[in-house]
Amino acid sequence: MKLIKVLIVLFILIISVCGCENKADAPDNIVDDVVLQNDYLEDIDEQSIPVDDKKENLDEDSISTTNNNQESEELEDQKDIQNTTTNIEKSTHTFAGDKTYTSYSIDLKDDPYGYLSMNVIDDYVYIARDNYDDKMVQIYGIDVTDLENNPLKKIYEGNGEKNYSTGYTGCFYKSKDNEVVCNLQQQLIYIDPVSHEVIRSEDIESDIIDYRLSHDGKTESYTKDNYNIYINSKKLGEKLIEEGDYIDETIGAGCGYYVYIPQSPRWSTDDNYMAYLIGEYESSSGPTIIDSKGNTLLNCNLEICNLCWLSDNQLMIENFFGGPYLAIIDIDKYNYWYLVKEQDMSFEYTYNPDTHTLSIFKDKPYNHLRIFDTNNLNKYLEVPIDKEIYNGQYIFPIKDKIYIINYRDDKLNIDIYPFEGEEKIFEPEIHNCSDIEYKQEN
């Protein structure tokens, strides 16, 4: 019996030695690949830990996974994103004689998502995307200053179905607590600006539309109840600012539609003012500017499509119907002026509050950018570029470069131009706001 046991032990030892020799004879790259793959999966596992386990006080239904199958799917998604970033094509172009720029193209491999919003905060670009068919929302980040070493990072993925009931617009900004906030309309996602990871999320009531939180986080603005616009704070409570007007009409099979919709509330950078516009049946008008207590300061009757605050007191308004323009209203000085007027029919722009830059593309007399420092709108830098900019492109001056980013044909395209050009003086004609105030007919 003892002899049999000894033979068995010797047999096991021989098999073990042979196995080690086979492993030692394996090509180095196979062993390395196994190690790298294990390290990579460990990194992914850390990223897949539910946010509830990392941070306290996070809503249970926000981001955390629910079952093993879902966790496995998220692992695969993370791997897919990691792989897509290896497909980066780089090229250099020459134009206008001796001027050059560099292009990067990131192939996203039959990507079903569309891009909703981009912004740069602390030299880092945040991207909101959605998949209408699957009702999913994603947030990505990318360090465009080091594209070859810093690929796309998936920051957040969640069910965006509730955002579709009222329309979805992504918006990134930095709060006064130094957090990056992504407003998904029915949900706020708070992101750490250093690690670029989700800190927490907050749900918004489902019947609220076009939600905006003041920069200090103390006052909300939104529309609800047949598109009535409100502000709400602990100090004031909920206050109705203006009512929408709903008219029932028989069109075809019959439907109702709004002809007077207060919408698009936007807070000034110091939270002392809020501006909004009025959506009408086939156009929109405004803006109306109120103070933080809800008192009306200015009620304008301009055709207007978009608005945003450049500073504590300067509101930029845009129109692209009929006669396109880009204008500034200074509420403290009670005046306004145009940055772009009707005869300049082709223009696109990007405003970046983090860098205080306003970049306007114009195609006359040639393709160029006018880059304003919003702290001083009396001058701009005129920068020539090689091609036209179309709707959906974002222009971000970062440090000594200008990044023009767009998404087309399943590719994220980034053109990088030197931040060089000719400085020019801007002397607009100043108008009094009484010229554009709404005057009620007798």
Predicted pLDDT of residue 110: 64
What is the Cα–Cα distance from 281 to 104, expressed in whole angstroms?
42
Q: What is the separation of C-alpha 131 from the centre of its chain, rounded to a whole number of angstroms?
A: 15
State the average pLDDT over residues 270-292. Answer: 88
Query: 306 and 317 in contact (C-beta within 8 Å)?
Result: yes
The secondary structure of 97-111 as a DSSP string is TTEEEEEEEEE-SS-
Query: 124 and 193 in contact (C-beta within 8 Å)?
Result: yes
The secondary element (H helix, E strand) that includes residue 17 is helix 2-25
Query: Where is pLDDT greater, at 50 or 438?
Result: 438
Question: Hunting for tokens 């539609």 — which residue is that?
Answer: 257
Residue 242 has pLDDT above 70, yes or no: yes
State the average pLDDT over residues 33-43. Answer: 31
State the average pLDDT over residues 252-280. Answer: 80
What's the CA angle centered on 299, arms 298 and 301, to 5 degrees?
135
- pLDDT above 70 covers a percentage of the chain that reads 70
Predicted pLDDT of residue 342: 62
Residue 32 has pLDDT above 50, yes or no: no
Residue 107 has pLDDT above 90, yes or no: no
Question: Hunting for tokens 């009535």 — which residue is that?
Answer: 228
Residue 200 has pLDDT above 90, yes or no: yes
First CA to last CA distance, the chain: 117
Predicted pLDDT of residue 258: 55
Query: Where is pLDDT greater, at 192 or 236?
Result: 192
Greatest alpha-carbon pair distance for the chain in Å reads 117
- pLDDT above 90 covers a percentage of the chain that reads 33
Omega before residue 418 within 30° of 0, cis: no
Q: Which of 198-202, 333-337, 354-358, 407-411 has the lowest mean pLDDT?
A: 407-411
Q: pTM of the predicted model, to two decimals?
A: 0.74
Predicted pLDDT of residue 320: 79
- DSSP type of residue 18: H
Q: For residue 301, what are the contacts with CB-CB under 8 A and spacing of at least 6?
A: 285, 286, 436, 437, 438, 439
Work out the mean pLDDT of the chain and round it to a whole number.
75
Task: Name the pLDDT band for 440 (thresholds 50, 70, 90).
Answer: low
β partners of residue 85: none
Q: Which of 294-303, 404-413, 417-426 has the lowest mean pLDDT?
A: 404-413
Omega before residue 287 within 30° of 0, cis: yes
pLDDT digits (tens, 9 = 90+) for 57-88: 323 332 222 233 333 443 344 444 443 445 78
Structural domains in the chain plus CATH codes: 79-110+346-431 (no CATH), 115-206 (2.40.10)
Buried b vs exposed e over 146-161: b needs ≥16 C-beta within 10 Å? ebeeebbbbbbbbebe
Predicted pLDDT of residue 121: 92
- DSSP type of residue 343: T
Residue 6 has pLDDT above 50, yes or no: no
Residue 283 has pLDDT above 50, yes or no: yes
Query: 319 and 325 in contact (C-beta within 8 Å)?
Result: yes
State the average pLDDT over residues 188-197. Answer: 94
Task: Name the pLDDT band for 370 (thresholds 50, 70, 90).
Answer: very high
Task: Name the pLDDT band for 169 (thresholds 50, 70, 90).
Answer: very low
What is the Cα–Cα distance from 64 to 82, expressed in whole angstroms?
21
State the average pLDDT over residues 36-57. Answer: 33
Long-range contacts of 248-251 (CB under 8 A, 24+ apart): none
